């Protein structure tokens, strides 16, 4: 290959570029990104960056020399709008066309919204630097109640940060507990207690029915929520943390299979061998034969090594196996998960105690440990994970 184009300039794209050079690719490397920034880290957006304790420079995934060492052509602030895998071309939103031998699709995803939120001032998502800057400014100008819709990782982190800023916070979640899908009911109950202990109001088991608003300038500004059970939640600012949708629309007409992401084999190779996918947009064949897509930082960091190896080989010579490691910082507490926690038939605290809010729990199925969860005990988590957790299927 003489030219490889990485479409997507965030974590997965940056790691892909690094692996290309590390694995011996010395040809032309083009990195396309729709944001104007060089690759940056997203986890702080809902935590330190939102709180104002981290600046934009601290988010960068390297210093200037790290980017220079890649010897890449950076096309930032421009979107990819089309791909012709057989012809080897990537079309950009400014009308230019890149001739390329290989393509790494790392276009990530976009934050989902909620019906009725469109066009309302005061409603935010947290996906980009600009999203968080807008939210941060709005919180400073409108320090009234904050409503967070969605109690997944992003939503609960935003709630924690807003509470640390001294704001009144209500979290709305359609499920019965925060993070119940990720942790199961017992450990999700621990997270419920964590929110309550820090003065956050939880409204679980009821989704958003409508947004209330008032005239504001030439438009309208949100004033609160009405839930499906009739509960009214006043809010000067609303944050939506209801997941993301993969950015794969631009691949329409490419001849590649697109279904909730770019469909790939177990080695992250698409239906054309000169195209691979990494990060949130990659929907790949797991060890169990199912198509899966992971939306976590660790996954975006781990996948590029396998994808690049297969791209340079021109065939699937290695399969990707995820560590399934996720972490989150909330209310001064570190939450860590590894392996599979779904469908466990037993959850046991194996180190520490739930009462102390410092423990490690093992998830088991059929007597086999499949997952590990820790609250506020990173050292024990690492030790227990190595001791108990076997390599998990994708």
Model pLDDT for residues 132-189, shown as the tens digit of each residue: 999 999 999 988 899 999 999 999 999 999 999 999 999 999 999 999 999 999 999 9
In whole angstroms, give the CA distance from residue 171 to residue 387. 36
Question: Could you give the angle at the alpha carbon of 232 between the alpha carbons of 177 and 228, nearest 5°?
Answer: 60
Q: For residue 164, what is the enclosing H or E element?
A: helix 153-164
Average pLDDT over residues 334-356: 91
Q: What is the token pair recorded at 120?
A: 């309302």
| 350 and 231 housed in the same domain | no
Please give the mean pLDDT across all residues of the chain. 94
| 39 and 157 housed in the same domain | no
**300 and 284 Cβ atoms separated by less than 8 Å:** no
* Domain-embedded: residue 321: no
With cut-offs at 50, 70 and 90, classify the pLDDT of residue 394: low
Share of the chain above pLDDT 70, in %: 98
In whole angstroms, give the CA distance from residue 100 to residue 90. 7
| 160 and 102 housed in the same domain | no
| 236 and 271 housed in the same domain | no
| 31 and 75 housed in the same domain | yes
| 11 and 49 housed in the same domain | yes
Domain boundary among 240, 262, 294: 240
pLDDT in the model for residue 82: 97
Place of tokens 């997944």: 152
* Domain-embedded: residue 324: no
390, pLDDT greater than 80: no
| 231 and 261 housed in the same domain | no
Q: What is the token pair recorded at 288?
A: 């169990």
| 275 and 352 housed in the same domain | no
Which residues, listed in sequence order, are joined to residue 288 by a DSSP beta bridge?
A: none
pLDDT in the model for residue 314: 96
| 88 and 136 housed in the same domain | no
Q: What is the token pair recorded at 131?
A: 């999203």
Share of the chain above pLDDT 90, in %: 87
Q: Determine the structural domain holding residue 121 and report its residue range.
A: 113-240
Least confident segment among 6-10, 201-205, 215-219 = 215-219
* Domain-embedded: residue 327: no
Domain boundary among 254, 286, 313: 313
Query: How many domains, in total, are found in the chain?
Result: 3
53, pLDDT greater than 60: yes
342, pLDDT greater than 90: no
In whole angstroms, give the CA distance from residue 268 to residue 86. 18
| 249 and 104 housed in the same domain | yes
CATH label of the domain that carries residue 142: 3.50.50.60
Least confident segment among 22-26, 61-65, 129-133 = 61-65
**178 and 192 Cβ atoms separated by less than 8 Å:** yes
Prediction pTM value? 0.94
Kindly report the length of the chain.
394
* Domain-embedded: residue 180: yes
Model pLDDT for residues 5-43, shown as the tens digit of each residue: 999 999 999 999 999 999 999 999 999 999 999 999 999
3-class SS of residue 93: coil
Average pLDDT over residues 57-84: 95
**285 and 291 Cβ atoms separated by less than 8 Å:** yes
| 270 and 223 housed in the same domain | no
| 11 and 87 housed in the same domain | yes
* Domain-embedded: residue 366: yes
């Amino acid at each position: 290959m003489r030219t490889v184009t990485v479409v997507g300039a965030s974590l997965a794209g940056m790691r892909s570029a690094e692996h290309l050079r590390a694995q011996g690719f010395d040809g032309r490397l083009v990195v396309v990104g729709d944001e104007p920034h060089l690759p940056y880290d997203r986890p702080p957006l809902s935590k330190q960056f939102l709180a104002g304790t981290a600046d934009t420079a601290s988010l960068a995934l390297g210093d200037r020399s790290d980017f220079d060492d890649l010897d890449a052509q950076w096309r930032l602030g421009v979107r990819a709008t089309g791909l012709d895998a057989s012809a080897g071309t990537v079309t950009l939103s400014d009308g230019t066309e890149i001739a390329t031998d290989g393509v790494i699709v790392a276009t990530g995803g976009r934050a989902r919204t909620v019906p009725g939120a469109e066009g309302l001032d005061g409603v935010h998502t947290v996906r980009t630097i600009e999203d968080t800057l807008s939210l941060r400014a709005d919180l400073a100008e409108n320090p009234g109640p904050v409503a967070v819709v969605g109690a997944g990782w992003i939503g609960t982190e935003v709630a924690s940060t807003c509470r640390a800023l001294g704001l009144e916070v209500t979290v709305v979640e359609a499920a019965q507990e925060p993070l119940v899908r990720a942790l199961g009911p017992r450990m999700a109950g621990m997270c419920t207690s964590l929110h309550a202990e820090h003065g956050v109001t939880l409204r679980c088991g009821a989704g958003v029915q409508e947004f209330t608003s008032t005239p504001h300038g030439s438009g309208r500004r949100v004033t609160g929520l009405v839930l499906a059970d009739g509960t009214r939640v006043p809010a000067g600012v609303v944050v939506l943390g209801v997941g993301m949708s993969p950015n794969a629309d631009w691949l329409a007409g490419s001849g590649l299979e697109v279904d909730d992401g770019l469909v790939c084999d177990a080695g992250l190779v698409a239906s054309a061998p000169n195209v691979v996918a990494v990060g949130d947009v990659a929907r790949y064949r797991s060890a169990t034969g199912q198509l899966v897509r992971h939306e976590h930082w660790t996954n975006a960091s781990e996948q590029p090594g396998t994808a690049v190896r297969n791209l340079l080989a021109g065939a699937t010579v290695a399969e990707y196996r995820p560590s399934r490691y996720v972490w989150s910082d909330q209310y001064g507490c570190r939450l860590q998960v590894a392996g599979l926690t779904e469908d466990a038939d037993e959850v046991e605290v194996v180190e520490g105690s739930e009462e102390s809010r410092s423990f490690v729990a093992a998830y088991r199925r059929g007597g086999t440990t499949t997952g590990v969860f820790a609250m506020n005990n990173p050292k024990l988590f690492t030790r227990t994970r190595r001791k108990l957790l076997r390599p998990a299927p994708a």
